[in-house]
Amino acid sequence: MWIKNAQDPGYDATVVNLLLENGAQILGKTNCDEFGMGSLSIHSFFKPVINPFTPANVPPAKKSEPRSAGGSSGGSAAIATHKLCFAALATDTGGSTRLPAAYCGVAGLKPSYGLISRWGVIAFADSLDTVGIIASKVENIRRVYVILIPVESDVVAQYDERDPTSVPVDIRNAAHDACEHFPVLEDINDLGKLRIGIPQEYFPAELGDTVLKPFRRVLQALEQRGASLIPVSLPSTKYALSAYYVLASAEASSNMARYDGVRYGMQYRPPYDADLSKTSDVYAHTRSFYFGKEVKKRILLGTYALTAESVHNVSVMEHIPNQPIFRAFDNYYLKAQELRKLIRQDFNNVFRIPNVLQSSNTSKTTTTQGVDILLHPTTIRTAPLLSEISDKGLDTYVQDVLTVPASLAGIPAISIPSIADDGWPVGTSIVGQWGSDEKVLKVAELMEKLMHETDSKTLT
């Protein structure tokens, strides 16, 4: 609702500029969860996004009941489904590009953190936010990707000095060089050199047969063409969802602070008997009225995660370092940061390519032990009916359980669609080492072809 009355900020996002410069046309803006907070595109001032996917071989009666398009970038996935656009931009903080892509039966890429500029992207959680690309075909994603992130190392890569988290050119080139150890995949029928890791922690109890069956078919097809399937363990995965919600909410509570109704967006006029003795009292009216329910929930959660529990222990003069005080900040935020490191380390342990962002790992030569990519289902289920969604409990948060680890680690992940037995789409995620986005896209293109074959086999 903040955006409803938004003024023109007077500048374009870097991604928009790059696309326009390269001849793209911007068709419009799409619906999404407010500030990207949500997994089902139901938290929008403009009503939920309805999943436009039409299953084949499903009785017409069942089709009519609306399903979620997934979120938060549900609108972007929805318009890509019926090819209303060549590709759609999205954001991905914990799965917001991959999840709706999976539910709508399209492909969705979350690139490595730091490759695409966030200048002009409204921040939800700065350390996790990435610009994603959604399209009906991986090829389309690649065409947008090469505009936003040129791959040849001799081309000036799209480092953006306006984004302090934009990775400098030398590190981009280092990642490019590290990828030379990635197996060459030319022939779809000869994947003998490709080592695919299947992380055992990505099959939680909530994951149903609907998802497992098509995933197994994908694995079979890959194995038949010579790819090695290697079971791997990412032991810290079980903490990922909790760590993610603490960190993302903490950052969100900070980023939402600027929406006070003074400089942009909507302003709520307090009743005239209201106590306005403090600045925050004035802001509270606008913030209470115009923020959506989910956003307020996360602001509260994040605010608590950053709070010093016992105010009496905090010195008024806040400059004294190393004060031994016990705070929610230590118990939640710092713990979550530590977990994030473990999760990142888990990934570095299994990949064959070193992570060029970690200086200690740069000397590490490519091992024969590691895997080239990881493969796992994108979601625990197919798109839920809008009528069965309850915002009580943790149901909506569990949607993200398979997508948040890659976000926490900042590594590239793409979801490509296949069709479950009930005719609705599910996604398979291909996850690679930081900076191997190009290779992840390559594998995705091969698998897209394979899945066309397997899906058409099962449907006939």
Partner 1 sequence: MAWMGSGHWSRDAMTSQLGVEANTSYSAIDAAWPGTLPKLNKSCVDLAVRTALACGANVQSFSAFDRKHYFYADLPAGYQITQKYAPLSLGGEVRISGSFGEKTIRLQQIQLEQENLKAIDLNRAGSALMELVSYPDMRSPEEAAAYVKTLQTLLRTVGSSDANMEQGSFRCDVNVSVNRPGDPFGTRCEIKNLNSVGFLITALNAEIYRHIELLDQGNQVIQETRGFDENRMITYKLRSKEDAPDYRYMPDSNLPPLILTQAYLQSIKAFLPEHPDHLRKRLVEQYGFNQQDVNVLLSIDAGRDVPFDGETGQSAVSFFEETVKGRNPKTVFNWIVNELVAQLVLHKRTFGQSPLSQAQLGDLIDLVETRKISIFINVEDCIKGTAAKDILRHILRTGAIEDIATLQANLGLMTIDVADVRMFCETAIGDFPDVAERVRQGNKKVLMKLVGAAMKLSNGRADANLVKTCLEDILIHRTI
Indicate which residues carry an active-site annotation: 72, 96
301 lies in the site for partner 1, by CB under 8 A: no
Contact between 266 and partner 1 per CB under 8 A: no
Contact track, partner 1, 105-144, x by CB under 8 A:
-------------xxxxxx-xxx-----------------
Region binding partner 1 by CB under 8 A among candidate stretches 91-99, 225-233, 317-325, 436-444: 317-325
Q: How far is the CB of 304 from partner 1 (least distance, A)?
A: 9
* Rg from Cα positions in the chain: 22
CB of 274 to partner 1, least distance (A): 16
Nearer residue to partner 1 within complex by CB, 122 or 389: 122
Opening angle at CA 92, ends 364 and 181, nearest 5: 25
Angle at Cα 131 formed by Cα 129 and Cα 136, nearest 5°?
135
Task: Single out the residue of 122, 134, 130, 33 nearest to residue 391, CA to CA.
Answer: 33
Peptide bond connecting 72 to the previous residue in cis, omega within 30 degrees of 0: yes
Going by C-alpha positions, the residue among 200, 240, 178, 195 that lies closest to residue 434 is 178
At a CB cut-off of 8 Å and minimum separation 6, what does 278 contact? Answer: none
Q: Are 383 and 51 in contact (CB under 8 A)?
A: yes
Q: Which is nearer to partner 1, 151 or 308 (CB)?
A: 308
Q: Is 331 in the site for partner 1 (CB under 8 A)?
A: no
Interface pattern 162-181 for partner 1 (x via CB under 8 A): xxxx----------------
CB 222 within 8 A of CB 450: yes
By the rule CB under 8 A, 23 interacts with partner 1:
no
CA distance 394 to 396: 6
Q: Which residue, 257 or 385, has its beta carbon nearer to partner 1?
A: 257
For residue 115, the 8-state DSSP code is T
Counting contacts by CB under 8 A, is residue 275 touching partner 1?
no
Decide if residue 8 touches partner 1 (CB under 8 A): no
Minimum CB–partner distance for residue 297 and partner 1 (Å)? 17
Cα–Cα distance between 163 and 297 in angstroms, integer?
29
Which residue's CB is nearer to partner 1, number 101 or number 256? Answer: 256
> Pick from 28, 47, 311, 390: which binds partner 1 (CB under 8 A)?
311
For residues 124 and 34, give the distance between their C-alpha atoms in angstroms, rounded to a whole number: 10
* Count of residues touching partner 1 (by CB under 8 A): 48
What 3-state DSSP class applies to 230? Answer: strand
Mark the segment that binds partner 1 (CB under 8 A) among 45-53, 130-138, 221-229, 252-260.
252-260
Q: Pairing between strand 425-431 and 373-377?
A: antiparallel
The residues binding partner 1 (CB under 8 A) are: 9-11, 13, 118-123, 125-127, 161-165, 250-251, 253-254, 256-260, 262-264, 278-280, 283, 303, 306-308, 311-312, 314, 316-319, 321, 329, 333
